[in-house]
Each structure stands twice: as C-alpha cells, then as structure tokens.
Amino acid sequence: MLTDARLVAAKDLRIEMRSKVTVSQVVPFAGLVLVMFGFALDANRPTLDLATSGLFWVTVLFVAVMAVQRSTAIETTDGARRALLLAGVEPSAVFMGKAAAVAVQLLAVELVLIGGIIVLYDASIEEPLLLVATCVTATAGIAAAGTLLGALVAGVRARETVLPILLLPVLAPVLLGATRAFDDALGAVAVNGWSWLAMLVGFTVINVAFGVTAYGVLLEET
Amino acid sequence: MTTTTASDITGTRRRGTGSRTTFWLGSVGLVGVVVLILLGFFAAPADDDQVDAVRMIFIHVPVAMLTYVAFSLTAVGSVLWLWKRSIWWDTVALSAAEVGVMFCGLTLFTGSIWGRPTWGTYWDWGDVRLVTTMILFLIMVGYLAVRSLDGDSATLATRAAVIGIIGAVNIPIVNRSVTWWSSRRTLHQKSSLTDGNLEDLTLFTMMFGLVVFSILMLWMMIHRFRISWLERQVSEGNLSEALIARRAEAMVAVETGRVGGAIQPELGRQPDKGGFGEVEDSK
Amino acid sequence: MTHLGYLLVGWGVTLGVVGLYAVSLIRRGRDLVGQVPADRSRWMTTGVDKT
C-alpha cells in the first residue's frame, strides 16, 4: 500500500511539476496575498506583528483550496480515476498518495511564505523546531481533509464554489491551532504552542484515519 | 401551521404530505406554542440577575438542544446509509439536517439576541459553545449545499453522508480547540439546569418548551421525509416513463429496421440498455 | 417587562421562521403529491427500505 501511495504521489507531483502551475501561479498568488494583507493593515508594524501567524495560515488555507482543486481535477479528466481503480490500486493508497502530493506542494508554498513573513512582516523565528513541527502536522491535516472533500466534489459542475464552503469550516480548528502555535514559535504572543501542536496532531490523526476509510466509498461512487 | 383538515386525510385522495399522525402532532404543537408563550411571558417569574431577559431561555435552550439531536440523527443516518445502503435512513439524515440547520441558525440568532442584554454583546469570540455551534452550522450548510447539487441521488447521498460524518467526528476537536483558544473567558453559564439557580416554574417552562419544540421538529421531519419520498418517486417516475418511451421508440425502430436488416442489431440493443438501467435504478 | 424588544425579536423570529418553514413544507408536499400516482405516494409501506 505504501508503494502504491508513493507511486500515486509521484504521479501527481510529476504532473504538477510539468504544468509549472505551482511555481508560476500558486506561489506568486501566495506572495500577493501577503502583500495585500500588508496594504489592508496599513503596514502598521505592531498590528502586523500580532497578525502575522494568522495571515500566514489564512494564506495557506487559500492555497490549500487551490491545490486540492487541482489535485482533484487530475483524476476527473479522462476518467483517470476509473483507470486507477482498474489498475488495482487500493483506494486508501490513492488517498494517501494524493494527500501526500498536496502536502508536499503546500509545504513548498509554506517555505516561500515563511521567507515572505520574515522579509515583509519582519517576523523572527524563536522556536524553529515548533515552527517546523507545526507546519508539517497542520499541513498533513489540511491535505487529508482537503483530499477527502476534494473527492467529494469531484465531477460536480459547481465544485469551484462548493469546495471552499465545505473545506474551510472543517479546517477551522487547524487555523486556530496552527495560528496559536505560530504565535509561540514567532514569539509574538506568550502562549504554550506545544499544547496547540498536540491538538493539531489530534486533528490530523482523525482526518487521516477517516479519509483512509471513507475515500474508497467516494471513489467507487463516481 | 397545519392547514390539512381531518376530512382531507379520511378522503381517498391525499392532498399533501399530511396524515392523521401529523395532523394531531401539528395541532398539539400549535396549542403547545400558545401555552409556551403564555407560560414564558406571564407565568414564569423574572430572574434576579437577568430580569426579563431570562424569558429567552424558553426558546433558546430547547432549540439549541434539538439542534444537536438533529445533527446526531444526521450522523447516524449517514453512517447507516453508507453501511446498509438504507434509503430510509438517508432520508432521515436529510430531513434532520434541514431542520437542524434551521434550528442551528435560530440557536445562534436567539443566543445573540439574549447575549446583548445579559452579556452586553451580540457575539463573543471567546465563548466556546457559541463558536463551536457556528462552525457546526457552517459545516452543515455545506451538507445542504451538497444535497442541492444536481446528480444521481445515490451519489449525492454518499457524498453528503461523508460530510455528515466529518461534521460529527470533528465536533470534539472543534470544541477542544475553541475551549483552549478562549480559555481566557467564557460567557456561557456552566449549566443553569444543575446548579439549582432556576426557579421551579422557570425550569418547568423550559422543559415544556423542549417538549413543544420536539413535537414541532418531529412534525417537520415527518413532512420533510415524505417530501423526499415523493421527490424520489417523481424522479423515478420520470425515469421509467423515459425508459418506456425510449423502449417504444426502439421497438418501432426494430420493426422498421427489420426491413432494412443491416441496422437491426445495433438498434435492437437499445431496449437492453434501458433494461439494465432500470435494474440499476431499482437496486 | 424589561428587555421586551429583545424578547419580541427573539421569539418572533424563531416562531416566524419555524412557521414559514412549516408552510413551505406543506406547499411542497401539495405540489408533489399531484405528480405521483396514488399507489406510489404511500411512504413507509412500499419500497422504502427494499434496497
């Protein structure tokens, strides 16, 4: 199953690499959002300091919606989904693979965004370990929930509008948890970021487990 | 509320989704609402702290509790649809979700209206139950959005069921996260029910409100269930009519094709296709 | 009575919304029932759980 998952992930990532959309559109979009927030908050340093982690994760959620949409589109075109099933790949492996591919893209964007907040928002990283752990855990959770809900709206005509409606409320705990953990890691607010990280782990475990079990049902249905 | 009269039900032709049961449920519910208004506004005493604002409790608490009952039913129905492919439970899940979203919206609304005079604010981001309920509301609005998409009813049922369950499994984590997030301050009283702060009549009226709104919810869910059932019949009816029409066309084509000979096999296959479709639909 | 405005809005909107929803349910039921032959409009008894 892990081999299959790796194959699916590699396939998705290769398609993304070749299309160059992540590099040429998604990353610039993320940077643009950062700049826009800077304008919106009137480049007010104290406000920006307090808002940095929240803005970071809101941007990540926007990017996640785009990434999931693209990841789903890969399978819906040309009946690729059916072909995957016929090839005898376990639905749970497909889920893990697609989620991993989304996670890798998100992590790449987050890397750029961290550079962005350091340069544009003057953020300083006080606890690198917490920062990395938060990114990895939260991203895994976002990718898992996103991949499942992406499959859910696959083939629906109005999926561009339906996906955010479904995904964003589900990701609300991630936004809460990751933002608080980042507040700690960036030294912006005195909170215990590690307990928030524990909450994120809970979210990720629940959503990965549910995704692994439920993905097959959605895959067979359409 | 129920405009169905008894003679409609006893008559041979049904005029709506009403029946004897819903007629009596609706009547009792209506009378209950009137009694609840009388009890809530005139019989129950004003609270020491909240004065008359406490009278909001008689609708806010029942509606809030029934919201969670309804969404639990949606989750149970979703599981049973995925597990047993039970159309009955799927329809229950849909009915409960629709009524639940309405009740959830009303919970948030009455809560804000109540919060303004007692807490001094319509909305407080630090309050756990408030924020959790809001997130749940948004997830279940998504459930209804998926239900309203066009497509095959079984596919939509499966997709919606997954959301129904996601909503349920995420509730503990949402609640936990909001609890920590807002640990600074929570405005909701711990539980007015258990700490004995409420006057007897106030408590009774609240319980009475719970009964009244349960009856109303049951009434609405039964009607909603029957509407889904009728909708299913209509779409299946249209489908089988279309199949019959197409089969008739094909038969004609076969008959005329028999003269031509060459096109016969291909046209002759059409009724078979229809037949398979029908088997799948009734499955 | 204190806070009468809040109370009237809260109760009024709640009962109003529930009432409107109930009316819409009855309306939808009436519209639909005419489109389904009488023998198939009996929920619960036929085919509900036959899947």
The whole-chain average pLDDT of chain B stands at 78
Tell me what percent of the residues of chain B surpass a pLDDT of 90: 32
What average pLDDT does chain A have? 86
* Position B156 in a domain: yes
Same domain, B201 and B261: no
Q: What is the pLDDT of residue A1?
A: 75
Tell me, what's the pLDDT at A56?
Answer: 93
Same domain, B248 and B229: no
B77 and B185 housed in the same domain? yes
Question: How far is residue A192's CA from residue A183's CA, in Å, rounded to a whole number?
Answer: 9
Q: Are residues B123 and B172 in the same domain?
A: yes
Burial of B261 (C-beta count, 10 Å sphere; 0-12/13-18/19+): exposed
User: Which tops the pLDDT comparison, B182 or C14?
Assistant: C14
Q: Which residue has the higher pLDDT, B262 or A52?
A: A52
State the burial class of residue A18 (Cβ atoms within 10 Å of its Cβ: 0-12, 13-18, 19+): exposed
Is A184 within 8 Å of A191 (Cβ atoms)? yes
Domain membership flag for residue B6:
no
Cβ atoms A151, A72 nearer than 8 A: yes
Q: Is residue B8 a part of any domain in this protein?
A: no
In a domain, B159, yes or no: yes
**Whether residue B26 is found in the same domain as residue B118:** yes
In percent, the amount of chain A with pLDDT more than 90 equals 34
Residues 1-51 of C with CB under 8 A from B: 1-4, 6-7, 9-11, 13-15, 17-19, 21-23, 25-26, 28-30, 32-33, 35-38, 40-41, 43, 48-49, 51
pLDDT at B17: 79
CA dist., res. B142 & res. B128, Å (int)? 21
Contact C2 B52 (CB under 8 A): yes
* CB–CB contact A149 B177 (8 Å): no
- Give the range of the structural domain holding residue B272, as residue numbers without chain letter: 239-282
**Mean pLDDT highest for which of A14-23, A79-88, A137-146?**
A137-146
Could you tell me the two tokens for B28?
């009792």
Domain boundary among B200, B216, B237: B237
Q: Which residue has the higher pLDDT, C3 or A144?
A: A144
- C-beta of residue A12 within 8 angstroms of C-beta of residue A91: no
Q: What contacts B151, CB < 8 A, 6 or more positions away?
A: A156
On whether both B192 and B266 belong to a single domain, the answer is: no
How is residue A180 written in tokens? Answer: 């608080």
- Residues with Cβ within 8 Å of residue C40, at least 6 apart in sequence: B233, B237, C46
Note whether residue B7 is domain-resident. no
Between A167-171, B106-110, B129-133, C11-15, the lowest mean confidence (pLDDT) is in B129-133
Q: What is the dihedral of CA B265, B270, B272, B274, to 10 degrees?
A: 180
pLDDT on residue B53: 80
pLDDT at A204: 93
Q: Are residues B217 and B243 in the same domain?
A: no
Give me A70's structure tokens.
Answer: 């693209």
Average pLDDT of span C8-37: 90
Residue with tokens 């398979």: B276
Q: What value of ipTM does the predicted structure carry?
A: 0.84
Range of the domain at A29: 2-221
Using CB atoms and an 8 Å cut-off, which of residues 47-66 of chain B contact chain C?
51-53, 55-56, 59-60, 63
CA–CA gap between residue B73 and residue B82 (Å, rounded): 14
Whole-structure pTM value: 0.81
By Cβ distance, the residue of A203, A210, A221 closest to B158 is: A221
- Say if residue B25 is in the same domain as residue B77: yes
pLDDT at A43: 65
Of A37-46, B80-89, B200-209, C13-22, give the lowest mean pLDDT range.
A37-46
Count of domains observed in chain B: 2
pLDDT value at residue B131: 81
B224 contacts on C by Cβ (under 8 Å):
25
Size of interface B-C (CB pairs under 8 A): 129
- Kindly state the average pLDDT of the residues B57-77: 92
pLDDT in tens, B198-223: 668 888 899 999 999 999 999 999 99
pLDDT greater than 90 at residue A101 = yes
Reduced to 3 states, what is the DSSP secondary structure of residue B43? helix
Looking at the DSSP assignment, which residues form a beta bridge with residue B51? B47
Q: Are residues B91 and B141 in the same domain?
A: yes
What is chain B's percent helix, strand, coil content, to nearest 5? 80, 0, 20
Q: Is the pLDDT of residue A41 over 60?
A: yes
Is the CB of A1 inside 8 Å of chain B's CB atoms?
no
pLDDT band at A125; cut points 50, 70, 90: confident
pLDDT for res B148: 87
Write the pLDDT tens digit of every residue in A43-98: 667 778 788 899 999 999 999 999 998 888 887 776 777 777 777 778 888 899 99
Chain B nearest CA to A167, separation (Å): 8
When pLDDT is cut at 50, 70 and 90, the band that residue B282 belongs to is very low
Total domains in the fold of chain A: 1
State how far residue B266 is from chain A, nearest Cα, in angstroms.
Answer: 26
pLDDT of residue B198: 67
**pLDDT at residue B186 tops 70:** no
Same domain, B144 and B251: no
Same domain, B185 and B267: no
| Option in A145, A169, A199 nearest B138 (CB) | A169
Question: What is the end-to-end Cα distance of chain B in Å, rounded?
Answer: 37
**Which chain B positions have a beta carbon within 8 Å of C40's beta carbon?**
233, 237
Q: Is the same domain home to B213 and B276?
A: no
**Mean per-residue pLDDT, A146-165:** 85
